[in-house]
Structure 1
Amino acid sequence: MFGPHEPLIYLHSTALDDLMQSRWVKRSGRLVDALWLCSVLLVLAGSRWCRTKWALIVWWATGVLVVAAASGAALLWMNIVLPTVATISLWTLATVLEIGRRHTNELVERQRLRNTMGLYFSPSVLKNVLENPGRLEPKRVEITVLLTDLRNSTALAEQLGTERMLDLLNRIFTVENRAVFAEDGSLEKPVGDQFLAYWGAPDPQPDAADRALRATLALIERMHELRETLDPNVKELFGYGLALHAGQSLIANIGSAQFFHYGVIGDLINATAR
């Protein structure tokens, strides 16, 4: 090392000796650069196994330190300058893109979950579910169940035809959804002309029975209003049954990895239907 007051002749002598001994700093060749960048890309592929964002950042920082150390060693011992800046820039860009890809996938998955769960839960229950996904774990809970049934559905289908019958069912389900969600209830998917709702899951509701009763009374009133809008020949056939029951039941995601829904399992449904 040379200080600021070192005679320049020493500096010149050292430089001349380096030239005579072929110890000058050399730029790495294209083949070395290509192999170097390919090795970095191979190591970068390992970042896909970093499960969390922080693990990915640690992986990036480790890579930067390794690249800097390898470049320093090559310069110190071999007098070769590796493409350090380009390598670190490529490493950083790839890491940022990977973080962005994961963040986008998380947003898409979260929105998909929100859209799916929004079909079954009221907005307030949905908010709690999204904040605490563990609430959807299978569990046996005390719930209150509301089961509805359209009476004379076969005769109504013959009278209305397929399209008009479907329109009537959709109107009925719309009324039922609004009544249940108004009391923070949760929905099973409709089966034919039957409709199942429940209170007490996935969030405990100490007043589940009261909520279910209020929803039932609202449904009776709304269905009477709906009946009055029907044609006279349809109105005569239109009937609507409701049943309330409370008890313990298993509640969980039902189905396969490709298709599932969150619902009630057990004899409580059969008891309600009777």
Structure 2
Amino acid sequence: MASHLRPWLTRLQLQPALALAGLFALWVLMEALAGLRLLAPLDTYFSDHLLRQHASQRPTPDNIVMIGIDQRSLEDDAMLDFAGRNWPWPRMVHAELLRELQQRGAKAVIFDLTFTEGDPSAPESDRAFAQALRAFPAYLPLVVQPDGQPSPFKRLPPLMAVRPGPDAQPDAGAPLLTPMALPVDVWRTGLINFLPDPDTVGRRYYIDYSRQGWRIPSLPARVARDQGWVVPLQTDILLNWYSKPFPRLSYRDVVLSRQFSKPIPLPDLRGKIIIVGAYASGLSDLHPTPLSRLTDPPTPTAGPEILATALANLQHGDWLRPAPRASELGLAILLMFLLAWGWRRGWHVSLLALGLLLATALSTLGSYLLLQRTILWLPFSYLTLCWLYFFICALLYFLAERRRREHTVQLFNRFLDPRVVRKLVDRNALAQAEVGQAVEISVLFSDIRGFTTLSERQPPEKVVQMLNGYFDLQVEAIDLHGGTLDKFIGDAIMAFWGAPLSNPHHASEAVAAALDMTDRLEQFKRMLGEAGQGFDIGIGIHSGPAVVGLIGSTQRRLDYTAIGDTVNLASRIEGQTKGIARILVSESTRLACGEQFEFIDHGEHQVKGREQPVRLFEPKRKTT
């Protein structure tokens, strides 16, 4: 039974843990290789929180300035007189703005406004804007549309910098929203398409849009290359956000700054990169980003701000670099096998949970610290897999633990008081009992005197009834003093103290139980009346080392018992009680009891199986 129990516990606790570790590791590996990433939303959820926290500590660069077409620019009386009352404004207004920015020493100007159709009512206005763009070249937006008539790439003006790759298809094209209102010699364009992730949140920005082997540069990449900044050789970058919006001026204030007798004061724009975009309600280009939840309620991020973030990242070279997926994969596999190793070593579930919690906290901290070095490390989905693995194994552990407790209770309830059994369950005594152990114990043997004569005068059912009543009283005394009931041997009782729960006072408890058993004997004899006149018992106790554990046939029956010379001598001492005393104990038991009892020395006696005589003592309660 015991030999089968341990493999059963092993199969239930260890093999599933190791098997699950292998399965989870295989799943993680296959998911990484196949690019499925079923738990990727967890990574994006946690990364957005980290990015917002990280962004809150990043100062916004001041060399990129936004000029916003805000509500004030649309409704101000002076602006209405200057630009008219209809939107879009005549493009000569943008020409005036461009001349103003040129005079103020702006380094570069980017229009985040589309100019797709000419103004038939004021063609001179479009010509004026084109002339201003020739005098001070600015960057114009280009949009790839989801559908429409494709424009062949090979026919686009060279100024657009759309370039073929080695595998470019000659007839490739795409539906493009180009600045058709302006002549092609000012088409210094760049892509401004919003690049959403599968959850529609924008976390990246195009560097080059690739289509059929052709590459269309984005506006930030176009400016960066013209400025001589380092541009990565990849299709897009992960944006590294800033704490606040970029410095912004009202379009109205800039274009009208010299139109009044008292000029409108403006900050120094020399050497600044200017982005002109719409911010007014109904005109603004708004998109969800990780920063959207920085405000309450969440507000989308304006398109010009996203463009400016990409541009600033390229200027400072601090866009986010994804950490190798192998590092996240390796972490998950390592943690899973460490957990499996912990289960195998029998570590408590709370210790494993604490370890995994610590690993999760350190990984989160590591992810945040790596952000400081512009590395985006997202182990969160794999950590979730580790926690899932842990909870499944914890459930198996719980089931195995419950089975172990049930088995322990069933096994020891035959020998011990239920209160003691509960302590054994908590201390995992079953595992110790299976292997057996050598311990110091006190063994008690009790046998009935005159029972044969008594049984001859009573019918069998009456004999059994009396015997059971006697055993009930004696076992209560053993339980009361914390003893382990080993077995009944006919009309004899064997019990011991000191196992399975260690007890340094095992000798004193055994003697106290023996004295209590004699008291209960007198109670039992009174219950029997005349029939109990010849009923008596003898009790022998010896203290010493013995092997205690589950002993017997693994196929049929196992008993929790003690074996060894200490047991044999206790039985022999019980045999010496007849004609001397009801209770006799060995000298080792007397010495172990200290001064708790009084002892009557009955001298040395020769016992069967021992060459040396044994000194025996009769214990008595101390008199006050």
- TM-score between the two structures when normalised by the length of structure 2: 0.30
Q: What is the deviation of 1:190? A: 0.9
2:416–2:483 CA contact under 8 A, matched in 1: yes
- Distance (Å, rounded) in 2 between the aligned partners of 1:125 and 1:99: 27
- Distance (Å, rounded) in 2 between the aligned partners of 1:49 and 1:114: 19
After superposition, give the CA deviation of every residue in 1:190-242 in whole Å (9 maximum; x if it has no partner): 1111001111223332221211111111111111101111142x213322222
Task: Give the gaps of 5 or more residues in structure 1.
Answer: 1-47, 74-95
**Gap change, CA 1:107 and 1:158, over 3 Å in 2:** same
**1:241 and 2:241 matched:** no
Matches within 5 A, 1:19-168: 51=14, 54-55=17-18, 57-62=20-25, 64-65=27-28, 68=31, 103-104=398-399, 106-130=401-425, 131-133=427-429, 134-136=431-433, 137-168=435-466
After superposition, give the CA deviation of every residue in 1:153-184 in whole Å (9 maximum; x if it has no partner): 22222222322222222212211221111111
**1:251 and 2:548 matched:** yes
1:129–1:135 CA contact under 8 A, matched in 2: no
Aligned to 1:219: 517
1:199–1:208 CA contact under 8 A, matched in 2: yes
Aligned to 1:190: 488
- Distance (Å, rounded) in 1 between the aligned partners of 2:401 and 2:502: 28
Q: What is the deviation of 1:254? A: 0.9
2:16–2:393 CA contact under 8 A, matched in 1: no
2:526–2:532 CA contact under 8 A, matched in 1: yes
Aligned to 1:202: 500
Q: Residue 169 of structure 1 is aligned with which of 454, 458, 467?
A: 467
1:146–1:244 CA contact under 8 A, matched in 2: yes
SS at match of 2:537: strand
2:13–2:397 CA contact under 8 A, matched in 1: no
Amino acid of the residue matched to residue 241 of structure 1? G
- Distance (Å, rounded) in 1 between the aligned partners of 2:12 and 2:441: 42
2:445–2:492 CA contact under 8 A, matched in 1: yes
SS at match of 2:24: helix
Q: Which runs of 4+ in 1 moved over 4 A?
A: 66-73, 96-106
- Distance (Å, rounded) in 2 between the aligned partners of 1:241 and 1:169: 16
Aligned to 1:40: none
Amino acid of the residue matched to residue 249 of structure 1? A
Q: Residue 272 of structure 1 is aligned with which of 570, 585, 592?
A: 570
- Distance (Å, rounded) in 1 between the aligned partners of 2:13 and 2:490: 46
**1:229 and 2:527 matched:** yes
Q: What is the deviation of 1:145? A: 1.6
**Gap change, CA 1:49 and 1:180, over 3 Å in 2:** closer
SS at match of 1:51: helix
Between Structure 1 and Structure 2, the one with more helix by share is 1
SS at match of 2:467: helix
Q: What is the deviation of 1:146? A: 1.5
- Distance (Å, rounded) in 1 between the aligned partners of 2:567 and 2:413: 22
**Gap change, CA 1:223 and 1:99, over 3 Å in 2:** same
1:53–1:99 CA contact under 8 A, matched in 2: no
Q: What is the deviation of 1:60? A: 4.8
2:481–2:510 CA contact under 8 A, matched in 1: yes
2:13–2:400 CA contact under 8 A, matched in 1: no
Larger Rg, first or second structure (1 or 2): 2
- Distance (Å, rounded) in 2 between the aligned partners of 1:223 and 1:57: 59
SS at match of 2:528: coil
Q: Which has the higher contact order (CA 8 A, sep 6+)?
A: 1
1:50–1:56 CA contact under 8 A, matched in 2: no
**Gap change, CA 1:105 and 1:251, over 3 Å in 2:** closer
Task: Give the gaps of 5 or more residues in structure 2.
Answer: 1-10, 37-390, 573-624
1:150–1:239 CA contact under 8 A, matched in 2: yes
Identity rate of aligned residues, in percent?
Answer: 26
Q: What is the deviation of 1:120? A: 1.5
Q: What is the deviation of 1:71? A: 6.7
Computed over aligned residues only, the root mean square deviation of the Cα atoms, in angstroms, reads 3.2
SS at match of 2:462: helix
Amino acid of the residue matched to residue 252 of structure 1? G
**Gap change, CA 1:50 and 1:244, over 3 Å in 2:** closer
1:145–1:197 CA contact under 8 A, matched in 2: yes
1:135–1:203 CA contact under 8 A, matched in 2: no
Q: What is the deviation of 1:118? A: 2.0
